[in-house]
């Protein structure tokens, strides 16, 4: 063996090690050690070395379909190997592959490949592709929780439906917001969710199944016929275009019609398949792929730009995300100026610094990524403090072996997103334009640390209007809503604090007792006022108010607010003209035509009545709207007088 051959073999071994580590992290831990572009590049390098040398080492990922079995799930053997597709980045290769025959072009959806087995018309088993496409994992318990998987079909003979478990871009963004550790891509979220042992938890993830192949003894001549049959059985089928007598022009036109940026689900290419099933089978297969189909992987077009800075943000579990900001470039018709860096390892590998010349692209024509740094100044250092609370950051290793930055301050405002959501709610301080997603973004950027900061967002106006989803008009609407909420009632304030068991009803009672005066309420707390003397206040509610007021960390959140708001007395005053309901206990339930839930509560209170939330023997009236439900049934059982909304208003008029 000469020196050059030794060098080639050593290079192959290094590539195999890196690719295997990436596969393990991706398939077993749903983690990302390298970008898709880098993975494909290393795989291409390995294939090239194997072809040039004629040597293929054991364990080479070019000889098997990637995948790993989780120890906690049962292994299942596939009825036939689930091989991959040969890949190309050239449309010319697709034309050559078609050879003028009828073909079918479809999306190569980017999720977790699954096999669904049906017997006697019922779903019996769901299996992942798994190791080498031969042995997968039984995930029937979670697949039954998918949004669109038919549990029964009108076919009695045994069949298998193969397809992809996916999550739409829209659901990916919504789900990621409520996860403790957000995912970098829908494919990882789909994979991790499907492998969950807790089926109920997986059921919250809005997973979907898109079918692309039918395994059956039923005679079918074409792929298009097979896809149409699966649609008839109730399956969502991967969108496709049938191209008869496919020539160069027809294939290029069909490829041009497939626009990934407009598609609801993540994709990583296109699949071209021979329509004639018998002919396709006659083409045979290799140990890696079937010759009847070919995948088109888009050529990533690189764009040169200048790196500006690193942007950090904190998620609600304390993980600090890293985003590269660069001079704006147009890619695929949109302006791109930022790319998420998945972990600390990728950040360090790029050696970024202000002014560096970098190359960027859109992975799968969707997700902006930094491909490489040509100058590598390395002047941009790993952040040491949390952008939200200023606390020190720690480096943690994930289960997949990658490193992430974390803020470990339990009182970091980024971990208190739900408190801000509660405070801004329509039934509390009523600040429109601050959704959970927007609040999480503003808090993670360090623009909001306490409730008072909500009233000082003007100082970040320029940054906010450049934030995705915002502009001049949306910021103006937000600012108007914030300014409107500066004048609030003591009831709104108390309800917005999130004091356990002290909500809107209790807030109204407190506000009425202290005349809507914050100073009177605060002085009463300082003097040891006994809140149990108030209607419906017990010992626990009394203690909760005192614990909230004495909590120094909680005070850091709400006390700065007092500098920005003006307390006003409730507009609703107790009516003296109508005594029908004075002193009565009234429950309202169901959907009312003329009142929101909060408005009917205020109306009841203004009549000198008690607005209760549950029906009991002490209830005098139940106002029942549409879909009244269990409260109506209980009122009937207890003999409580039931009023329609119209009857309630007629009694008011009297």
Cα-Cα-Cα-Cα dihedral sign, residues 240, 241, 245, 246: negative
321-362: pLDDT as tens digits: 899 999 999 887 778 899 988 888 889 999 999 999 999 988
The model's confidence at residue 572, banded by pLDDT at 50, 70 and 90, is: very low
d(CA 233, CA 228): 9
- Provide the angle, in degrees to the nearest 10, between the axes of the packed helices 436-444 and 169-178: 60
- 147 burial class (0-12, 13-18, 19+ CB within 10 angstroms)? middle
Give the Cα separation of 414 and 387 in Å (integer).
10
Residue 218 buriedness (CB in 10 A; 0-12 / 13-18 / 19+): exposed
Determine the average pLDDT of the residues in 223-227: 94
The candidate with the shortest Cα–Cα distance to 160, out of 197, 195, 115, 122, is: 115
Nearest residue to 509 (alpha-carbon basis) of 473, 545, 461, 456: 545
- In this structure, how many other beta carbons lie within 10 angstroms of the beta carbon of residue 565? 18
CA distance 70 to 82: 18
Contact 445, 473 (CB under 8 A): no
Whole-number mean pLDDT of the chain? 84
Structure confidence at residue 26 (pLDDT): 65
Whether residue 17 has pLDDT greater than 50: yes
The CA distance from 357 to 91, in Å, is 31
Cα distances (Å, whole numbers) of residue 226 to 160, 215, 221, 275, 495: 12, 9, 8, 10, 58
What is the pLDDT averaged over residues 580-609? 81
Residue 223: per-residue pLDDT: 93
Give the mean model confidence (pLDDT) for residues 236-241: 93
Least confident of 85-94, 138-147, 418-427, 596-605: 596-605
Q: Which one from 42, 108, 250, 610 is the annotated catalytic residue?
A: 108
DSSP 385: B
Instruction: Note the pLDDT of residue 57.
Output: 66
Q: How far does CA 75 lie from the centroid of its chain?
A: 29
The pair of three-digit structure tokens given for residue 578, joined into one six-digit string: 């109508």
Q: What is the pLDDT of residues 255-309, one digit of tens each?
A: 999 888 888 898 988 999 999 999 988 888 876 778 899 999 877 778 999 999 9
State in Å, rounded, how far the first CA of the chain is from the last one: 106
How does residue 71 score in pLDDT terms, banded at 50, 70 and 90?
very low
pLDDT in tens, 396-454: 886 567 788 888 887 777 777 878 888 888 878 888 888 887 888 888 788 988 899 99
Global pTM reads 0.52
Cα–Cα dist 363/336, whole Å: 13
Q: Write the DSSP symbol of residue 299.
A: P
Q: Looking at the DSSP assignment, which residues form a beta bridge with residue 125?
A: 117
The C-alpha atoms of residue 74 and residue 70 are separated, in whole angstroms, by 8
In this structure, how many other beta carbons lie within 10 angstroms of the beta carbon of residue 282? 11
User: How large a percentage of the chain has pLDDT more than 70?
Assistant: 91
Joined together, the tokens standing for residue 428 give 């509390």
Query: Is 397 one of the annotated active-site residues of the chain?
Result: no
pLDDT at 8 over 90: no
- Note the pLDDT of residue 274: 94
For 527-546, write each residue's pLDDT tens digit.
899 988 887 788 888 998 99
| CA-closest candidate to residue 443, choices 468, 473, 464, 469 | 464
Least confident of 181-185, 213-217, 450-454, 541-545: 181-185
Number of neighbouring beta carbons within 10 Å of residue 462: 8
């Amino acid at each position: 063996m000469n020196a050059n051959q030794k060098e080639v073999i050593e290079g192959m071994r290094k590539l195999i090690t890196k690719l295997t580590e990436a596969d393990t992290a991706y398939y077993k831990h749903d983690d990302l050690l390298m970008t898709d572009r880098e993975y494909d590049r290393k795989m291409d390098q390995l294939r090239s070395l194997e072809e040039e040398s004629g040597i293929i080492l054991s364990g080479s990922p070019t000889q098997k379909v990637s995948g790993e079995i989780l120890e906690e799930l049962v292994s299942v053997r596939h009825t036939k190997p689930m091989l991959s597709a040969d890949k190309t980045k050239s449309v010319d290769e697709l034309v050559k592959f078609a050879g003028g025959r009828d073909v079918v072009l479809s999306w190569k959806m980017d999720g977790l490949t699954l096999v669904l087995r049906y017997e006697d018309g019922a779903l019996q088993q769901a299996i992942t592709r798994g190791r080498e496409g031969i042995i997968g994992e039984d995930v029937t318990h979670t697949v039954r929780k998918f949004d669109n998987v038919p549990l029964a079909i009108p076919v009695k003979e045994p069949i298998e439906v193969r397809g992809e478990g996916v999550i739409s871009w829209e659901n990916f963004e919504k789900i990621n917001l409520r996860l403790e550790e957000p995912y970098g891509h829908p494919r990882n979220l789909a994979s991790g969710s499907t492998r969950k042992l807790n089926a109920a938890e997986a059921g919250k993830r809005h997973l979907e199944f898109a079918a692309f192949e039918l395994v059956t003894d039923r005679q079918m001549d074409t792929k298009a016929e097979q896809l149409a049959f699966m649609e008839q059985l109730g399956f969502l089928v991967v969108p496709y275009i049938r191209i008869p007598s496919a020539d160069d022009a027809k294939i290029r036109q069909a490829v041009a019609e497939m626009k990934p940026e407009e598609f609801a689900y993540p994709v990583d290419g296109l699949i071209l398949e021979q329509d004639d099933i018998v002919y396709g089978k006659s083409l045979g297969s290799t140990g890696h792929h079937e010759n009847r189909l070919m995948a088109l992987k888009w050529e990533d077009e690189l764009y040169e730009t200048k790196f500006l800075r690193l942007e950090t943000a904190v998620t609600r579990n304390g993980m600090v995300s890293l985003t590269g900001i660069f001079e704006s470039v147009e890619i695929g018709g949109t302006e791109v100026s930022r790319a998420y860096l998945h972990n600390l390892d990728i950040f360090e590998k790029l050696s970024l610094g202000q002014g560096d010349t970098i190359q960027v692209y859109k992975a799968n024509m969707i997700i902006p990524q930094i491909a490489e740094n040509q100058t590598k100044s390395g002047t941009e250092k790993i952040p040491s403090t949390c952008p939200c609370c200023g606390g020190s950051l720690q480096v943690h290793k994930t289960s997949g072996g990658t490193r992430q930055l974390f803020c470990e301050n339990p009182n970091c405002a980024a971990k208190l997103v739900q408190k801000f959501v509660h405070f801004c709610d329509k039934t509390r301080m009523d600040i429109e334009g601050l959704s959970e997603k927007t609040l999480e973004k503003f808090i993670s950027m360090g623009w909001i640390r306490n409730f008072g900061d909500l009233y000082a967002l003007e100082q970040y106006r320029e940054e906010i209007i450049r934030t995705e989803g915002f502009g001049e008009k949306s910021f103006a609407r937000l600012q108007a809503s914030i300014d409107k909420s500066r004048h609030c009632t003591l009831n709104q304030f108390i309800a917005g604090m999130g004091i356990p068991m002290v909500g809107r009803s209790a807030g109204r009672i407190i506000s009425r007792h202290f005349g809507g005066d914050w100073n009177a309420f605060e002085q009463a707390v300082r003097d040891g006022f006994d809140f149990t003397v108030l209607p419906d206040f017990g010992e626990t509610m009394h203690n909760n108010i005192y614990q909230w007021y004495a909590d120094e960390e909680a005070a850091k959140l709400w006390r700065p607010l007092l500098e920005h708001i003006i307390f006003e007395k409730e507009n609703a005053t107790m009516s003296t003209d109508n005594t029908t309901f004075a002193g009565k206990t009234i429950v309202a339930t169901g959907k009312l035509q003329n009142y929101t839930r909060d408005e009917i509560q205020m109306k009841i209170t203004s009549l000198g009545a008690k607005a209760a939330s549950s029906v009991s023997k002490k209830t005098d009236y139940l106002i029942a709207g549409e879909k009244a439900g269990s409260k109506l049934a209980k009122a009937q059982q207890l003999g409580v007088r039931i009023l329609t909304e119209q009857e309630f208003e007629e009694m008011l008029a009297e």
